[in-house]
Amino acid sequence: MLTRQNYPNLIPSNQITPEGVYKERRELMKLAASAVVLAGTPLFSALSYEREKESRSLELTSYDQITTYNNFYEFSTDKEAPSKLAKHFKPRAWTLRIEGEVQKKVTFDIDQLLKLIPSEERIYRFRCVEGWSMVVPWVGIPLASVLKYVGLTSKSKYVEFETLFDPKQFPAQGQSFGSIAFPYREGLRIDEAMNPLTLLAVGLYGKELLPQNGAPIRLVVPWKYGFKSIKSIVSITLKEKQTRSTWNEMAPKEYGFFANVNPTVDHPRWSQARERPLGHFFKQDTLMFNGYGKEVASLYKGVDLKKFY
Number of H helices, E strands in the chain: 8, 13
Backbone angles phi, psi at 57, to 5 degrees: -65, 145
Mean pLDDT of 42-64: 56
**Range scoring the smallest mean pLDDT among 7-21, 25-39, 72-86, 270-284:** 25-39
Q: Using an 8 Å Cβ cutoff, are 245 and 252 in contact?
A: no
Sign of the four-CA dihedral 246, 249, 254, 259:
positive
Check residue 1 and give its pLDDT. Answer: 22
Helix%, strand%, coil% for the chain, nearest 5 = 25, 25, 50
| For residue 50, pLDDT beyond 50 | no
Length of the chain: 309
DSSP for 48-63? E---TTTS---PPPPH
**Range scoring the smallest mean pLDDT among 173-177, 237-241, 252-256:** 173-177
Check residue 135 and give its pLDDT. Answer: 98
Q: Where are the domains of the chain?
A: 13-300
- Tens digits of per-residue pLDDT, 212-223? 999 999 999 999
Confidence of residue 20 (pLDDT cuts 50, 70, 90): low
Burial of 62 (0-12, 13-18, 19+ CB in 10 A): middle
Confidence of residue 5 (pLDDT cuts 50, 70, 90): very low
Angle value at C-alpha 257, between 252 and 261, nearest 5 degrees: 105
Confidence of residue 17 (pLDDT cuts 50, 70, 90): very low
How far is residue 258's CA from residue 245's CA, in Å, rounded to a whole number? 10
How far is residue 295's CA from residue 309's CA, in Å, rounded to a whole number? 18
Percent of the chain with pLDDT over 90: 78
Confidence of residue 21 (pLDDT cuts 50, 70, 90): low
Check residue 174 and give its pLDDT. Answer: 87
| For residue 77, pLDDT beyond 90 | yes
| For residue 239, pLDDT beyond 60 | yes
Q: Both ends of the chain: CA-CA distance in Å?
A: 32
Architecture of domain 13-300: Alpha-Beta Complex (3.90)
How far is residue 23's CA from residue 30's CA, in Å, rounded to a whole number? 11
| For residue 283, pLDDT beyond 50 | yes
How far is residue 266's CA from residue 264's CA, in Å, rounded to a whole number? 6
Percent of the chain with pLDDT over 70: 80
- CB count within 10 Å of CB 14 equals 6
Sign of the four-CA dihedral 169, 174, 179, 181:
positive
Backbone angles phi, psi at 172, to 5 degrees: -70, -15
Check residue 177 and give its pLDDT. Answer: 55
Q: What is the pTM of this model?
A: 0.85
- Tens digits of per-residue pLDDT, 152-194? 999 999 999 999 999 999 999 988 655 688 999 999 999 999 9
Angle value at C-alpha 254, between 251 and 256, nearest 5 degrees: 90
Check residue 282 and give its pLDDT. Answer: 96
Task: Please name the residue ranges forming H helices in the chain.
Answer: 19-31, 63-68, 82-85, 110-116, 143-150, 190-193, 246-250, 293-296
Alpha-carbon distances of 164 from 89, 98, 108, 183, 215, rounded to whole Å: 12, 14, 15, 7, 11
Pairwise pLDDT comparison (5 vs 103), residue with the higher score: 103
- Tens digits of per-residue pLDDT, 122-151? 999 999 999 999 999 999 999 999 999 999
Bridge partners for 203 per DSSP: 139, 208
Pairwise pLDDT comparison (37 vs 236), residue with the higher score: 236
Check residue 58 and give its pLDDT. Answer: 85
